[in-house]
């Protein structure tokens, strides 16, 4: 069997993991985020100054080792003890948090109840929502890790994309990517359509040309290089770039005539009608069992084409969630209530998912059925809630310690009396030393770079024969390269956008 066929077989016919294990992984990034913030706070308390010495490299290395390294290890050599990793990091962050809180109480001599009450009534800057940025960035980062890691034997097969039914970690990544894009689209940010609706739709058609170009570029490069393909994932000629473009255009056309604040209702209708069609027609059999891909474009790319329906439903739901989280709130108390609402929404959707899997059919990314849509949104809400709660823990630590140099986090509106360097450090300067903001600034470029580096790595390294230590080293070098390029661009104030 040729090397290409071996690699294709390695990522095919997989069944995924449990819903609980995917949900468990949602705790890792928030805990790492808290640890990164607390380390900066402790450094400030010890030295009385921030940023770190040689900020270009020191902050980059801190972010890489605290935020990226645990993600790589947790999906490779430590995947079998993920629960222990999370428990260990939680214990570490709890110790740091207790130390910061005790030290701040000793210096301020405030009653604990008074401290918490004051915190809940504090006002935060309302011009940005950090946990939305964090969600989008970590979905992108985890996707970048997975698309290369899946080709190594050290990556658990249960995390890879499933063949037909199942819940792999990478299956969630596809739905989460669509959801993340919807959260910050113009409709979710409440931007009114200027001009005629036809001109607006035309504008959206023109805006996706980079995705179409990237999709064509990937198609040509894969066919010319003989790169291994999992055909039942999207089809012979289709790929995820085409899906992103078509979903964006279709959703924009629908939102041009439908109210955005009711988009979740239309998402439910679309998903329900699609599931009804799968159950009452020959469509499901055609998508799963008909492998005659020589009959034309539709047969060759049936998975990519028909799954667009489910992804549009996920996108429309994301628009409604985006409208909710982008609502102006100023008090910490109000944001905590909104996070609680997101968490309850996730619980309700998980209940609906259990009923759908019991009464209809299991989750299928390949079909993008109703179960997949429910799971994608439920898990996205849960992950985003965890990130939001982590950010609130950081905000409390920042307020208690009077150290506000923690990028990608809420900032208190109240002006601090501290006259040190941190208080004079502008927000833009703080975010300049942040890997999260670097990825956020050039998200599409980061995703494209990860795809290019994945192909390059596969052409140089025999991924299937690599030992576990070598595999981890290659993955870390790959991620460090991606992150370093994006970080340098961000540090220099460069945004790569050609549309």
Residue 55 exposed, middle or buried by CB count within 10 Å (0-12, 13-18, 19+): middle
CB 24 within 8 A of CB 377: no
The residue among 105 and 128 whose pLDDT is bigger is 128
* DSSP per residue, 113-161: HHHHHHHHT-BB--S--HHHHHHHHHHHHHHHHHHHHTTSTTS-GGGSP
The answer to whether 324 and 186 have CB atoms below 8 angstroms apart is no
For residue 70, what pLDDT band results from cuts at 50, 70 and 90? Answer: very high
Q: Give mean pLDDT, residues 207-213.
A: 89
User: For residues 402 and 471, which has the higher predicted lDDT (pLDDT)?
Assistant: 471
Mean pLDDT of 372-401: 94
At 164, which helix (H) or strand (E)?
none
Read off the pLDDT of residues 343-354 as tens digits, 9 standing for 90 and up: 999 999 999 999
123: which strand partners? 331
DSSP 3-state assignment of 162? coil
Q: What is the pLDDT of residue 499?
A: 52
Q: Is the pLDDT of residue 48 over 80?
A: no
pLDDT at 112: 60
**Does 123 have pLDDT greater than 90?**
no
Q: Reply yes or no on whether the pLDDT at 380 is more than 90.
A: yes
Q: CA geometry: angle at 84 spanning 158 and 408, to 5°?
A: 85
- Checking if the pLDDT of 360 tops 70, the result is yes
Residues in the chain: 499
What mean pLDDT is reported for the chain?
89
Residue 245 burial (10 A CB sphere; 0-12, 13-18, 19+) = buried
Sign of CA dihedral 34, 40, 44, 50: negative
The CA distance from 340 to 466, in Å, is: 44
């Amino acid at each position: 069997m040729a090397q290409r066929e071996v690699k294709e077989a390695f990522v095919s016919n997989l069944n995924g993991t449990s819903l609980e294990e995917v949900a468990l992984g949602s705790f890792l990034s928030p805990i790492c985020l808290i640890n990164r913030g607390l380390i900066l706070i402790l450094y400030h308390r010890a030295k009385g100054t921030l940023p770190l010495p040689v900020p270009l490299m020191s902050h980059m290395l801190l972010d890489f080792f605290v935020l990226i390294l645990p993600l790589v290890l947790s999906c490779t050599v430590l995947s079998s003890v993920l629960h222990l990793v999370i428990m260990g990091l939680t214990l570490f962050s709890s110790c740091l948090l207790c130390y910061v809180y005790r030290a701040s109480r000793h210096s301020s001599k405030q009653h604990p109840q008074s401290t918490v009450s004051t915190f809940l009534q504090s006002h935060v800057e309302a011009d940005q929502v950090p946990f939305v940025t964090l969600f989008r960035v970590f979905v992108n980062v985890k996707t970048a890790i997975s698309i290369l890691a899946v080709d190594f034997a050290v990556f658990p097969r249960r995390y890879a994309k499933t063949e037909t039914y199942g819940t792999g970690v990478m299956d969630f990544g596809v739905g989460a990517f669509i959801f993340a894009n919807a959260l910050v689209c113009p409709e979710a940010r409440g931007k009114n359509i200027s001009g005629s609706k036809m001109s607006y739709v035309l504008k959206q058609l023109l805006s996706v040309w980079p995705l179409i170009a990237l999709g064509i570029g990937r198609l040509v490069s894969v066919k010319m290089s003989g790169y291994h393909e999992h055909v039942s994932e999207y089809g012979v000629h289709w790929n995820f770039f085409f899906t992103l473009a078509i979903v964006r255009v279709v959703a924009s056309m629908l939102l041009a005539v439908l109210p955005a604040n009711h988009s979740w209702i239309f998402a439910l209708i679309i998903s329900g009608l699609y599931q009804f069609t799968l159950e009452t027609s020959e469509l499901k059999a055609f998508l799963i069992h008909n492998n005659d891909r020589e009959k034309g474009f539709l047969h060759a790319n049936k998975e990519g084409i028909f799954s667009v329906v489910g992804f549009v439903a996920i996108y429309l739901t994301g628009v409604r969630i985006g409208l909710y989280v982008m609502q102006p709130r100023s008090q910490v108390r109000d944001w905590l209530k909104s996070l609680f609402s997101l968490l309850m929404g996730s619980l309700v959707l998980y209940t609906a998912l259990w009923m759908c899997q019991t009464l209809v059919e299991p989750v299928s990314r390949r079909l993008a059925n109703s179960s997949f849509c429910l799971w994608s949104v439920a898990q996205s809400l849960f992950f985003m809630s965890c990130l939001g709660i982590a950010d609130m823990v950081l905000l409390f630590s920042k307020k208690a310690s009077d150290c506000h140099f923690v990028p990608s986090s809420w900032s208190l509106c109240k002006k601090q009396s501290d006259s040190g360097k941190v208080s004079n450090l502008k927000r833009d300067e703080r975010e300049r030393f942040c890997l999260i903001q670097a990825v956020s600034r050039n998200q599409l470029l980061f995703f494209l770079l990860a795809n290019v580096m994945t192909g390059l790595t596969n052409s140089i390294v025999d991924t299937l024969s690599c030992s576990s230590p070598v595999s981890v080293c290659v993955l870390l070098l790959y991620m460090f390269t991606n992150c370093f390029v994006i970080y340098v661009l961000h540090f220099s104030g460069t945004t790569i956008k050609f549309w």
